[in-house]
Structure 1
Amino acid sequence: MRIGLITANPDHPVLAATAALLARRHEVVTVDPTGSAGVSADVYLLKARTRQALLLARELERSGAPVINSAAATELCQDRVRMAGLADAAGLPFAATVDAGRLAELADPAYPFVVKSRHSRRHDLVARVDGPTRLRELAAHWPDEPVVTQPFVRGTGWDQKLWVIDRQVFAARRRSELASDARESGPQDWEPPAERAALALRVGEVFGLDVYGVDLLDGPTEPVIVDVNAFPGVRGRPGAPEALAALALRVAAQRGRVSAGRGR
């Protein structure tokens, strides 16, 4: 089989490890996310979120090729307003998310709160705002940035990171960069309780994702989802490359069976 990696960074650790596993018996090709669908493959892994990458993924999907994750699901996870609306409609415990317009126009907020870029991307805005001085500082640097606001959840000061690949849950805890005593530290191994793993799986069902991350905080009465990411890095999680390789092969095999059935 041929597996296509839609990425500008094929050396990313999880992709490189997955490609090494697949290359033992299959062909792995890197597809430029800024190009056209000129490379044929049995399945594509979409590890890019740019407009060009999404257009390419849609072109491949129209031709009948399976893309993991789909262009529609990937694009949905870039818009925090749409994400929150879908999660709320599905009854997921997503942080209350308000479309606040441009950051420079934000007026009379209830401090403290968290402000985020509406459109999720690399190096986007995610910050805790404790008062007017901090708000003015951020607005000076991001005056035209469309933003959302969320209540600041004090929790324990630790982010709970759950990553799912084809319904296999991987997890770690990381010191929150928004905590008052935030400090640099690597992820810590963490075994999520069964109900939190089940919540992460439910997110995939609602959002139509096969490879994704869920960021949780401990709320006053229940865990709170503060973000969902399509195809995150899943760095340093034993078994993640194997799960991703198995997913690619399974989806490619399913496509082959469908194509064979159509040919009869």
Structure 2
Amino acid sequence: MRIGLIAADPGHPVLAATAALLADRHEVTIVDPDGPAGPALADVYLLKAHTRRSLALAGELERRGAPVINSAAATELCQDRVRMAELARAADLPFAATRDAGRLAELADPAYPFVVKSRHSRRHDLVARVDGPARLRELVARWPDEPVVTQPFVPGTGWDQKLWVVDRQVFAARRRSELADGQGEPGQGQDWEPPAERAALALRVGEVFGLDVYGVDLLDGPAEPVIVDVNAFPGIRGRSGAPEALAALALRVATERGRVAQARGR
């Protein structure tokens, strides 16, 4: 089979490990996310890049009949934090209250403390805790025209709960929040086995968003866990078994496509 990786960084650990698992028996092709689709279709594509051009490329491949993991539409939805929150709350998921605040420079009369994020999720986007006017002025000076959303600050335990799902297999870790008070190095990680209800919540997110490979960021709210972000095809670094699950997913989807094509040809 031929597996295409739409990725700006094919050397990313989870992609490199997945490609190594597949390469012995299958052809793994790196697809430039800023380049043309090419005349020959792969049996399945893994969409790791999230730029506008890569989403357009994935959409073109889908229109030509190729399966893409995750779909272009599902990936694009997760780039817009307003649409993400609207879909989640409409499905009764415990998503943080998310308000479209327009341009950061136009943000008026906020209730401190709060969290401000770029509306459009991307690498090196804005995610910051704002405790008062001085901090807000500092951010406005750097990001005046940035379209943003605001969310209430959830103190939680100071640890972000990271759940990653690959084809309904749940992987998890906890990381010290960069937005929390207290001791601990921001980004510091530790292994974590999520309770069954949180794993089930992560699986429900995939059903609602139409995702096969994704991440869910949780915090401990006053009464229930709070979802603060959903990421299509995250890094899933250092999780044993994740590359194997991703390789198995790619082969399963490619095989299913082949069976459908064969049936149509009869």
Q: Name the SS of the counterpart of 1:18 in structure 2.
A: helix
Query: Distance in 2 between the 1:150 and 1:254 partners?
Result: 41
How big is each residue's C-alpha offset from its partner over 1:204-230, in whole Å with a ceiling of 9 and x where there is no partner?
Answer: 000000000000000000000000000
State the TM-score, normalizing by the size of structure 2: 0.98
How big is each residue's C-alpha offset from its partner over 1:113-166, in whole Å with a ceiling of 9 and x where there is no partner?
Answer: 000000000000000000000000000000000000000000000000000000
Q: Name the SS of the counterpart of 1:11 in structure 2.
A: coil
The structural deviation recorded for 1:244 is: 0.1
Unaligned runs of 5+ in 2: none
Unaligned runs of 5+ in 1: none
- 2:72 corresponding residue in structure 1: 71
- 2:25 corresponding residue in structure 1: 25
Query: Distance in 2 between the 1:183 and 1:138 partners?
Result: 22
- 1:90 corresponding residue in structure 2: 91
Query: Distance in 2 between the 1:36 and 1:185 partners?
Result: 37
Label 1:167 to 1:54 Cα distance change in 2 as closer, same or farther (>3 A).
Answer: same
- 2:159 corresponding residue in structure 1: 158
- 1:227 corresponding residue in structure 2: 229
Of 192, 195, 202, 1:190 maps to: 192
How many residues of Structure 1 are paired with residues of Structure 2 in the alignment? 264
- 2:61 corresponding residue in structure 1: 60
What amino acid is aligned across from residue 7 of structure 1 in structure 2? A
The structural deviation recorded for 1:33 is: 0.3
- The residue correspondences of 1:124-139 to structure 2 (distance < 5 A) are 124-139=125-140
Q: Structure 1 residue 146 and structure 2 residue 147: aligned? A: yes
- 1:120 corresponding residue in structure 2: 121
- 1:211 corresponding residue in structure 2: 213
Moved over 4 A (4+): none
Query: Distance in 2 between the 1:226 and 1:49 partners?
Result: 19
How big is each residue's C-alpha offset from its partner over 1:195-254, in whole Å with a ceiling of 9 and x where there is no partner?
Answer: 000000000000000000000000000000000000000000000000000000000000
State the TM-score, normalizing by the size of structure 1: 0.99
Query: Distance in 2 between the 1:145 and 1:237 partners?
Result: 34
Q: Name the SS of the counterpart of 1:253 in structure 2.
A: helix
- 2:15 corresponding residue in structure 1: 15
